[in-house]
A and B are shown apart, each in its own frame.
Chain A
Amino acid sequence: MTESRSLPAALLRISFGPLVWFAHLNALYAANMFDCLDRTGGSAGVTIFATVGALAGIVGFAWRLRASAGHETAANIGMAVSGLSALAVFWTALAFASGGTHCG
C-alpha cells in the first residue's frame, strides 16, 4: 500500500467529512437559536440548504477519493470516515427536522 506524500493532503482526506458534519451541526443549532430568540427566521430553509450542501460536499469529496482508495491508507480511511459523516449528517438533520415545536 503506497501513501500520499503530503501530511496536509492526508489530514484533509481524513478530516473533511467530520469537519463538514461539525459545521452542519453548528449551522442547524445556530439557526434554531436565532429563530427562537426572534433574531432571524427561516431555520427550516437553513436546514434544507445546509443538509443538501453538506451531503453533496461529503459525497463529492468521497467520490474524488475513490481513485486513490485501495492503495493509500489516508484515502481509505477518508472514504470510510466520510461515509460515517454523511450518515451522521443525515441522522442529525432528520432528528432536527422532527424536533417538533422548534422553540418548545
Chain B
Amino acid sequence: VIEPPHTAPRPPGELETLKRLWEPPRGWRAITAVNNLQIGLYYAGTAFLFFLAAGVLALLMRTQLAVPSNTFLDQDTYNQIFTMHGTVMMFLFAVPMVEALGVLLLPGMIGARDLPFPRLSAYAFWAYFIGGLVFFGTLFFDLAPKGGWFMYPPLTNADYSPGTGADFWLLGIGFIEISAIAGAIEIIVGVLLTRAPGMTLGRMPVFVWTQLIFAAMIIFAFPAIILATMLLELERAFGWPFFVAAKGGDPVLWQHLFWFFGHPEVYIIFLPAAGLVSMIVPTMTRSPLVGYHLVVVALLGTGFFSFGLWVHHMFTTGIPSASLALFSAASMAVSLPSGMQVFSWIATIANGRLQFTVPSLFVLGFIFLFTLGGLTGVMVAMVPFDWQVHDTYFVVAHFHYVLIGGMVFPMFAALYYWTPMLSEPLSERSGKWAFWLMFIGFNVTFLPMHLTGLVGMPRRVHTYPEALNWAGLNLVSTVGAFVFAVGVLVVLVDMALRFRPSLSGGAGNIWKAGTLEWLSNDAYVPRSIPRVETREPLWSRPTLAKEAEEGRWYLPNAPTGRRETIATTPVEAEPMAVLRLPGPGFAHLVAAAGTAGFFLLLTVKMIALAFLCGAAAVLAILIWMWESDPKPTAPVDIGGGTRLPTYLSGSRSHSWMATVVLLCAAASLYLAYVFSYLYLWTAAPNAWAGATATRVDVARPLLSAGLLISVAVLIQRARRQLAMGASGYALALHWGLAAAASFVALAMEVYAHWDAGLRPDSSGYGAMVYMASVLQGQIVIAFVIMALFTAAKHIAGRIDGDRRATFDNVALFGRYLVGQGLFGLLLIHGFPRLVQ
C-alpha cells in the first residue's frame, strides 16, 4: 500500500489559490467558460432540451396516427416532423449527450483536474449549440428537411427535394459531426494521457473504457457520413452525379456510406450507456462488477464488430445472396459480445444485494428493454424475416427498444445517480413514479408496434385508411406515448424543484460508490490527485477521500501559477509532466460561431458572408494556438519528491496525440472516398470507359508527385535546421516553400484533368476524379494555414529546440498531406490504366 506523499498539513492560502485559478466565470461571462464541469453541464443540458423537443415531435406524430384518415398534420408537415424527430434524436441528442457525459464525468473518474484541451470541448459545445439551434429552427420556417433521417437519394437530390431543406440537413449535420469529432479527440487524449497515477488500463472504470471506445468509433465512423454529405451536397449544388445511375453514379453508394456510419452509430450511443450501467450496478449491489475483463473484451468486440454490419440495413437493395448470408451471420455474431455484458450485470446483481433505488429501477428497465430489442435485432438479422418487415413498424419498434431501452433509460439512471455529485439528490418518490410511468408508457407504445408492422403498416406514412384495421394498435401506441411523456414530465418537475448544480459540489457520495468522481469536488475536481491501486479506490482505501481533501496526494497546489493537471503515460499511467491548461476566453466562442456561420450561410447561398465567417473562425483558432508553446519552466514538485517538466513535445505531447487522432479521422474520410471510387467502378463500369478518352499524360502526375515529395524534403530539412538552431526567417522560408509546393501540386492536378477534357458533372467517374482533389484541397488549405502560422511563430521566436510542439505537429500533418497526395495520384492515374 502506497502512502500519500504529503504528511504535513498544507500551507495556508494554497486552497484559496487553487480556488481563484479555477474560479468559473459568472454572469454573462459564463459563456467564456472552458472548465469541463461547466461545459459538461451546458452540453448535457442542451442535449436534454433537444431530447424534449424531439419528444414533442414524436407526440405530434403519435397524435396524427392515433386515428385513421386524420387531418391533424398535413403530409408535408408530417414528413418534416418525422425527419426532424429522427435527425434530432440521433445527431442532436444521443451522440452529444454521451459526449456531454464524458466531458462532465471523465475528469472526475480519471482523477484529472480537467481534460487536456478545455477550449476544444468548449468549441465543440458552442459549435453544436449554435448549429443545432439553427438546424432545429428550420422547422418553424417550413425549411426543414423531409427526406427521412437517412436522406436517401434520389429522393433527396435537387430534382425531388428542391429548396434548402436537404441542404440544411447536409451542411448542418456534416458540421455537427465535425464538432463531435472535436469532442472525440478531447476524450481520447484525455483518457490516454491524464489519468491519475497508477490508473493502468486494467484499473480504468468501465465507463472510461466505453468513452475511449465510443470516441475511437466516432473517429472511424463519422468520416463516412461527412463524405456522404459532401458528395450529395456537391451533386445538389453543382450537378456532380455521384448518385445518378444514368450518369454512372449509384444511389446505393449513399446507403453504403450512410450505414457504414449509421450502424456503428447505434453502438456509439449504446456503449457509453452500457458503461453508465456498469458503474451503477456495482454501487447499487455493493459488489465489484463480475467479469471486468470480459466486459472490456465485450465492449471492444462490440465496437469492432459494429463496423462489419452496415449491409444488414440494405438487405432489400439487391445485394447478392451469398453476401446477404455473410452479413446476416455477422449481425448475429455481434449479439455474443452484447450478451456477455448483460450476463455480467445479471451476475453482479446476483452476487451482491441490490438496493431498489431509482437508478437501480432504470437499470433493470434498461436490461429488460435492451434484451428485448436485442432479440428482435437477431430476428431482423435473418434475411427472409427482414425482407418481410423491412420499412414497417416492426423495425420502428425494434430500434426504439434498442435506443430508448439502451440509451434513454441508462441516461435517466445516470441523472438520478450522479446528481448528488453536483446538487442535492432528486426525489426517490417522484423518481419511482417517473420510472413506472415511463416503463409502462414505453411498452404500451412500442410492444403493439411490432404487431402493427407485422400486419403491414409501413413507416413514414402520415395516415392510413380505416379499412386496413390498424387503428386499434395505433391508438394504443399513442396512449402509451403520452403516458411516457407524463413520466418525463415528472422528472422535469423534480428537476425544477431540486436540481441546483454547483461546481463546488453537491450532496456527496450518498451511494457510497467506489470510483474517484465521488471524491469531494470543486471546479478543480479533486483537491489533490491520488495514486490509484485498485478499480474501486474509495472502497479499497476508505481514508482516500479524506486524504485527497486534505491535499495529501499529488499536485495539491498550483506550482506554475496556472490551471494544470498531471499528464501520465498512456498504458501504465505513470506521471510524466504537469500540463498547463488555459482559462476562460472568447477565442473558442468566436471560432464556434464562425464555423457555424460558415456552414449555415453556405446553405442559404450567402457565399461572401460565409467565407467571412470562415475567416473569423480560422483567425480565432490561430489566436488561441498562438500561446500553445509556452516557455518551459523548471521542473515542479507534485509531491513525494516527484519532479515533472511543464512542457512536452514530440510523440509524448498531448497535442501530438491529438494530431495523430485527427489524422486518423482524415485518413478514414479518405478511405471512405477510396471505397466510393472503387464501388462506382464495380457498379458502373460503363462510366469508366470514358476514362481512356480523358486520360492525362503520365508526365503531369509525375510532376505533381515530385512537388509533393519536395514538401516532405523541405519539412525534413527544416527539422534538421531547427535542431542546428537556424534563424527563424530561414525556417519560415522552408514552411513557405512547402506550402507553395503543396498548393501548386494540387492546382496542377486539377488543371491536368480539366485540360484533358474531363468535367466533374459529366459522369460518376469524372465526379470521383475531381473529388480526390477536393479532399486533397481540404488538407492543402489546412496545411497552408498551419505552415504560414508556424512560419510566423518562427519569426516571432516562439519556436525553438525546446519549444517545438507546433513544429512537430505541423510537420506530421505535412507528411500526411504528402502520403495522401501520392496515394491519390496513384489511384486516379494508376488504377484506370491497370484495369483497362
A residues sitting closer than 8 Å to B (CB atoms) are 1, 3-7, 10, 14-15, 18-19, 21-22, 25-26, 28-30, 32-37, 39, 43, 73-74, 76-77, 80-81, 84-85, 87-88, 91-92, 94-96, 98-104
* A101 CB contacts on chain B under 8 angstroms: 321
Alpha-carbon distance between A100 and B311 when the two chains are bound, in angstroms: 18
- In the bound complex, how far is the Cα of B295 from the Cα of A80, in angstroms? 11
Closest CB in chain A relative to B249 CB, distance in Å: 16
- CB pair B201 A10 closer than 8 Å: yes
- Residues of chain B at interface, number, CB under 8 A: 37
Q: State whether B683 touches A81 (Cβ < 8 A).
A: no
Q: Whole-angstrom distance from the CB of B668 to the nearest CB of chain A?
A: 13
Whether the pair B202, A32 counts as a contact (CB closer than 8 A) is no
**How far apart are B572's CB and chain A's nearest CB, in angstroms?**
5
Question: In whole angstroms, how far apart are the Cα atoms of A39 and B683 in the complex?
Answer: 10
Residue numbers in A under 8 Å from B304 (CB-CB): 15, 18-19, 21-22, 81, 85
A96 and B326 form a contact (CB under 8 A): yes
List of A residues within 8 angstroms of B336 by Cβ: 84, 87
Min CB distance B431 to A, Å, is 36
Are A5 and B307 within 8 A (Cβ)? no
Contact between B571 and A95 (Cβ–Cβ < 8 Å)? no
14 A-B interface contacts by CB (under 8 A) = A1-B202, A7-B192, A25-B330, A28-B323, A30-B682, A32-B323, A77-B293, A84-B336, A91-B332, A92-B329, A96-B322, A96-B323, A98-B325, A100-B322
Q: Given the complex, which residues of B lie within 8 Å of A7, measured CB to CB?
A: 192, 570-571
A104 vs B201: C-alpha distance when bound (angstroms) = 47
> Contact check: which of A22, A36, A43, A81 meets B301 at CB < 8 Å?
A81
With A29-B311, A77-B300, A91-B333 as contacts: A5 and B569 at CB distance below 8 Å: yes
Q: Which residues of B contact A99 (CB under 8 A)?
A: 320-326
Task: Kindly list the 7 A-B residue pairs having the minimum CB-CB distance in the complex, ordered from nearest.
Answer: A99-B322, A95-B329, A18-B304, A73-B202, A99-B325, A104-B321, A7-B570
Distance of A21 Cα from B303 Cα, bound (Å)? 13
- Which residues does chain B contribute within 8 Å of A30, judged by CB atoms? 682
Residues of A within 8 A of B305 (CB): 18, 21, 88
The CA of A24 and the CA of B329, in the complex, are separated in Å by: 13
Instruction: Indicate which residue in B296, B324, B326, B571 contacts A10 across the interface (CB closer than 8 Å).
Output: B571
For B297, give its contact among A26, A81, A91 (CB under 8 Å): A81
Tell me the minimal C-beta distance from B483 to chain A in angstroms.
40
Contact assessment for A104 and B320 in the assembled complex, using a CB-CB cutoff below 8 Å: yes
Chain A CB within 8 A of B337 CB = yes
Contact of A77 among B296, B307, B308, B324 (CB under 8 A): B296
Query: Is A84 a contact of B322 with CB atoms below 8 Å?
Result: no
- Interface of B, secondary structure class, is helix
The answer to the question of B200 belonging to the interface, with a C-beta cut-off of 8 Å to chain A, is: yes
Cβ contacts B245-256/A at 8 Å (1 or 0 each): 000000000000
| Given A26-B308, A92-B333, A99-B320, 14 more pairs with CB closer than 8 A | A1-B202, A7-B192, A7-B571, A18-B300, A18-B304, A25-B330, A74-B201, A77-B293, A77-B297, A81-B304, A84-B337, A96-B325, A96-B326, A99-B324
How distant is the Cα of A80 from the Cα of B297 in the complex, in angstroms?
7
Q: Binary interface profile of B, 327-339, with partner A (CB < 8 Å = 1, else 0)?
A: 1111011001100
Q: Is the CB of A102 within 8 A of B320?
A: yes
Assess whether B570 is in contact with A103, with CB atoms less than 8 Å apart: no
Verify if B623 is at the interface (C-beta below 8 Å from A).
no
Say whether B703 faces chain A, with CB atoms less than 8 Å apart.
no
Set of chain B residues within 8 Å of A25, measured between Cβ atoms: 308, 326, 330
Instruction: Given A22-B304, A81-B297, A103-B321, check contact A3 B201 (CB 8 Å).
Output: yes
With CB as the reference atom, state the residue of chain A lying closest to B571: A3
Contacts of B472 in A (CB 8 A): none
In the complex the two chains form, is B682's CB within 8 Å of A6's CB? no
What residues of A have a CB within 8 angstroms of the CB of B785 in the complex?
none
Interface membership of B510, Cβ < 8 A:
no
In whole angstroms, what is the CA distance A70 to B683 when docked? 48
Residues of A within 8 A of B330 (CB): 25, 88, 91-92
Q: Is the CB of A103 within 8 A of B320?
A: yes
- Asked if residues A5 and B571 are in contact (CB atoms below 8 Å), the reply is yes
Least CB distance from B27 to A in Å reads 42
Asked if B685 is at the interface of the complex by the 8 Å CB criterion, the answer is yes
Q: Per-residue CB proximity of B277-314 to A under 8 Å, as 1/0? A: 00000000000000001101100110011011001000
Across the interface, do B325 and A95 meet the contact criterion of CB distance under 8 Å?
yes
- CB <8 Å contact, B308 and A21: yes
Assembly CA distance A102 to B321 (angstroms): 6
Known A5-B572, A77-B297; contact A28-B325, beta-carbon cutoff 8 A:
no
A95 to chain B, nearest CB (A): 3
